[in-house]
Structures are given as structure tokens and as C-alpha cells.
Structure 1
């Protein structure tokens, strides 16, 4: 065994990610909402940063428009940089629709309001309120009557009475312990008395979900068509009583990071800065930099100035990168935005990165969790505009690439027109698409069908 130690001198190139580089990448992949939260924290921690709310800034709202980013970047090299150094071109002012959003009444408040209109004794009302406050986001009661009795030190009958009162409120099905009870509460509210229907709710909900009406009919001693009619009726009921009410779980809104607007028959990318504060450097700290006697203060101001300048440059670099990416997407998908075609062309991160001569990961970070509002298409997630392609013909001379979205739409249309008593199998759909020049396998059809939320032919069959 050789235990000799040797010293070797080697030379290699290595990229070291500085803290600033890491933060620049982090800022690039932030959405407008995430960036806004980050800027607010920086404003609290850095006294050299000043921020003005654009929503209440009349000068900004009357001067909001497109930016020449290549020209704009020149101003980042000046120590006294502020957003005021560059002037925007005038556009028509637009009122944000979010200004008109009012407070939503929550599901809990809706139930408590109804409870206030009912004559209930003073002993039972607090139990009803406790039950309402403990409903989950679907409107179900996760606790047992025994648990509530123990927690409130109330007897079983009192809690049972309170639960019956809650279950009598609108919407029908509220306060159920499980989906079977939820459906049965709705059936009873409709005054439907059918023993078979109740048995199906108790024992055969899984069969309905799996379209196993033959098996269900055999066990209930009814014909298959009748079993399916029962299934259709049950599907018309609401499994989530809280649906449509504010429960605190849903995302309230999405703020687009940019707009693609059509002006004089041409599309333009306009960045949305309205949700971000208008940042500038506080000039009152300049005197400290000139004071050579207080080195600690000078070092502190320099550190905060560098931090503020880095943030301003990173925000503009983020905006510039996203603007360039969206401009390339606009060129690539111009026919789609103009309505010439209903489908997006196949487009990958590589297609855009090669055009801009940047890395694919930069494009990926730039579009992460970001949205764009297009005049002709509405709100779109930028990531969703990137689709893979598939050959429409095995003949290379006539080869044309179609996006997977178009293939999915073709599958949707075929299934929508199929005979419900004899639905198309994945193999049959594959054969039909091949006849149209779309050369995809049965497995690919099954994959796309599942992605668009369509069940298999066995589960789509009608009797």
C-alpha cells in the first residue's frame, strides 16, 4: 500500500456564485406579488431607499407607458439614479379593476347571519355557533358529537339538537360528517323518499364514480339504465356545500407582470409596474459621505447605498429580461394573438433562449409563476404558452409541427361528437388522428386524455 503524500498544482476554471448573483437570480424568478413583498421589506430595512405608491401617484398614472429598456439601462450607472431620470411615452390611463373589489362575506358569516334570524334558546345558540366555527373549508363537520360534548361540557342531546339546526341552514348539506350524509341531507330537503336512492348513496358512490352501473344494477336488482339515472341524479347534487363562498383558501387574484396590447394593428409589450412602489435613492444621506471624520457612518451609508443600487439595477434587469422574452414570444405566436389560428405554435425554452442568446434556465426563471394579459386572449400564464410539437406527417417533405394543445383539442372534439352508448377507445382515437396526419400512439392519446381530465371509454359509456 502506497501511503506517500504528494503536492500537485492544477489550474481549473470555476464559477463562484456571489451573494449578489444569487440574489439577482432570486429576484428574476419572483412574480410581481413576491417582488412587491420583497421591496417592502427592503424599504423598512434600508433608509437610503425611498418608495412611492404608484396607485396613488397621479404623475405616474398619467405618464405610464412603454419603455425603451436598452436606453433605460444607461441611467443605472449614475450614483444619483432615480426612476425620474427616464421619461415614459404617454398612453391612455387605465383604471384597475381591482379598485372595485369589495369585501367578501365568508361562508362562516353567511351561516351565522342565518342563525341570528332563527329563534333559538340561549343554551343551544352557543353550541350552534361553535359547530359553525368548526366547519372545514368544504362545509363539513370534522368533529363527532361526542367530541363536541366533551369540549363544551354539554350533554349529547343538546349537541345533537344544535347540529340539526345547523344542518337546516342554507346551503343544503352543510354540517354533514361525510359525503354520504351531505347528499342525503340534500335529498331529504327536496322531499324525495326513495329507499333505493338512499341505499345507493350509502353503498354505491364508488360504483357511480367508476361508471360501474352494470354491477350496481345487478346488486340492486334494477336495470342498468335505471341505475345510470340514479347516478345522474346523485351527480346533480353538491358534494361541497361551501362551493361558491369565500372560505379563505382560494387565491384572491393574479397580478399580470405585463400586458400585450394591440395598438394600430400592432402588438406591443407593456410592463406592469403599477403594483410595485416607485423607487429612488434618498439624497439626504449624501452629506454623510462627504464627512471624512465619521468613518463608521460613511461605511454604513456606502453599504446601504450599494445595497439600494443593486436592488434598483436588479429590478430593471428583471424587467428588461422579461420584456425581451415576451417580445420573442409575441413574434413567435403572432398568428395566435391576431386570431389567424386558434392554436399556439410549438415553442420551447430553447427556441426563445437561442434567439436572445441567453441560457434556457434564464428564460425559465424569467417566466416562473408570471402572467401576461393579452388584449385578444385575456389573462395567460406565460409558462402555458410553451408547448412541445408533434409531427403531422411521416413524410418529411410535408412535415409540419403542431402543438400538443392542438392535439388535445382534436381529442376533445372527437370525444364530444362520439356516440355515448359506444364511446371511442384510445386506439380508435389514435387511428382517426393518424388519418388526419397526426401520427400519435394509443399511449400518447391516453396520456393527453388524462391531462385534459377526460375519463376512459369504459367510464364514459352511457346505457
Structure 2
């Protein structure tokens, strides 16, 4: 085997592992990033937290080689808020409820979803209604999130294996079939009834099913008893629990020179290489085994610091681009939200669309208009049969629909989307309705319900 081939085979797993770490750090919101940094500090003795300057001179810090190592990891040059400015109050911080979607997101976080699968799963979960059904087609989700239909379909199958059984189904047949398969007990009669004879089952015409399947009536009755145990609305039992507070990753404030963007890195530790170990590595008296160990740890620490730096730089650049595109929104209000795609931001920043998707995943932006998930600002725009529609017009329609609803039975986001499609010929997804409703400070259907 040639030397080039051997080197390629040895380097490829290392490069893959490094790339995976970089992508994972890009996805993490602030609180999880801090946990990742603390874990790396515990596992790698070469890493240490950069303390405040002590006034030591360069001569006192050691050899020139050591200085070169340390200076490479000086504090980040990303814009920071002046020390005399206060951060926005958390009093109006967005509350994320642990409802069905929250429960599904938690399962995705602790399951074997990786990289892009997590991002696609997030889009899929956003299109699951309160009963647990997927209300948008995989083609619509693919068009919105930018991933291939095949990838969305594959991740949907994984989402459908989460709890509660039957979640993520597109219709009743698929919902019951998922629950049947989750039990892991084969029964041709049960499966056949679900796939072919639900219409007869709804009419309770068991004799017709028996005749069609050519099986005894008692066997059909037994199969039906099993099917009756399945939940046709698997998401309905997941109510809201205690709210958790979301910490913003980015602040947008009006300054003397217009809108300014700051990262919320107030309590994120600055990292550098441990001087003692670097000095030990440069010492010619250290044995080869120890030197190899320190060298590997230095490389790991160097890469980790570089990934953190790149994450912060990318997040700031993307946030700044969003603010540039949505300037009217930040200065005038939610009615001025304009269509914006991942591709628009990617083109301006000079990175790939998937990188924009990752760095905005599950991250929040604090603004004078309120706290918004960064994905809130992305929308391809809405169309009716007559052409493009303005955001403000659609939001006004949503407000009118809610104002005219029966408060004893408020409309869900899915029902509002249906009304917009049927009455106004506006093609709109449930996720977009929820986005606009929240921007209008209109509560969910449960929050709007008036008990009589």
C-alpha cells in the first residue's frame, strides 16, 4: 500500500471526528455550549480558563515559543457590550412550554439523532399538531427547510419511533399502523384491518370484514379489541407543564450608529493553553511518550478553541445579516417582517446554507420587539392565487380570525391555517401561523379558552 493511501486512511477518521465536533458546537445554544466547555476543561488538562490580566511583562511569561502559543489564543475579537451597559431584562423572556412538541424535542436530544437529522427533526416536530399528527407533507417540509425529500422521509420514520406511539403519522391509518408495529407482535388480521378495512370498522361491520378476509368472526372480534386499545389521537394527553425560561444567544439594541448586534457571552469562559504543559512540551528532557501525549492534547485543545471562536464569529455574522435584512422589523415592528431564506443570509455572509441552519438552530434573539427564536426571521413569503402577499396583511387576517372565534372553543393553529387556505386561498403552514400569532402576542388555543 502506498504511503499516501496509508496517510489518507489514518487521517480520515480524525478529520471526520474533528468536523463532527465543530458541527456539534455550532448547533449548541448558549447554556449547552457552556456545559460543553466545562466538560472539555475537565477532560483536557491542556485547556484552562483565561483569567484577567495580572500586569506581567512578556519577559516574565517565559520563552518566546510559549508566548507564541499563548498569543494565538488571545480573547475573542467579537463585539461585546460596553461594561457600563445593562443587558435587557429577563422579565419578558419567552417561555417554552413542555407540551407534546417539547417532549418530542427532548427525546430527539437524548436519542441517536445526529447532525442534520436533528435539524430536520426540528422542522418535522414544528409541523406536528396537538393530536400528534403531521399536518404538512414531506414535500412541503423539504421545500421549507432545504433538505431533500428522501432525507425528510427518513428522519420522519425515526420521529415516528418516538413516544407516544403513533406520533408523526399523516393519517389515522398510519397512526394505528405505527402503534401496531411498536408492539412487535405480528397479527395478519389486525394489520389487514388497519390497511384495508378501516371504513368497515368505523361502521362496525365485522361480518363484512370477516367475509373479506375469509377468517372467522371471532378472530375479527379479537383483532378489533386490540385495535381499540390504540389511541387515534396520541398527542392529546400531553398537556402543558411548568414553563422554563430561554436564555437569549444574541442581543439586538439601538445604539448611536443604528442597530447593534452583541453575542450573549457574558459568562462564557475564555480559553487558552495551560502554560505549564506547553512549557513541559517544549522541554527537551521530557520522554517521548509524555511528549506525544501532551502534543495530542495540545492539538485537541487548539481545535476546540478554534471551533468555539469560529462558532462565535459565525453566529455574530449571521445575526448581523438577519438584522440587515429585517431592519424594518427591528425599527418599525412585526408587521414589517419580510420574506427571508437561508440562502439569502448564506450568500451575504459567504457560508453554506446548512451552516446558517445549524448556527440558528434552537437559538434566540433578544430585541426591543421581544424575544424571538432566530428561525422566526426566515420565511419564503406567502402566496395566494393572485400572487405574493405581505406579512402585515396575513397577520391582520389572523388577528381578525381570532377575534371572531368562539372563545369557548378557540381555533388551533391548524384550523386557522385551514381557514386561510379555504376562505382566502392563502397557502400557509401551521408553523407559520404559530409564528405570526406569537408575534401578535396572541396566546395559544388553550390560553385563549374561556371557561363558561
Please report the TM-score for the alignment, with normalisation by the length of structure 1. Answer: 0.48
Structure whose alpha-carbon radius of gyration is higher: 1
TM-score, normalization: structure 2?
0.49
Between the two structures, name the one with larger relative contact order (CA 8 Å, sep ≥ 6): 2
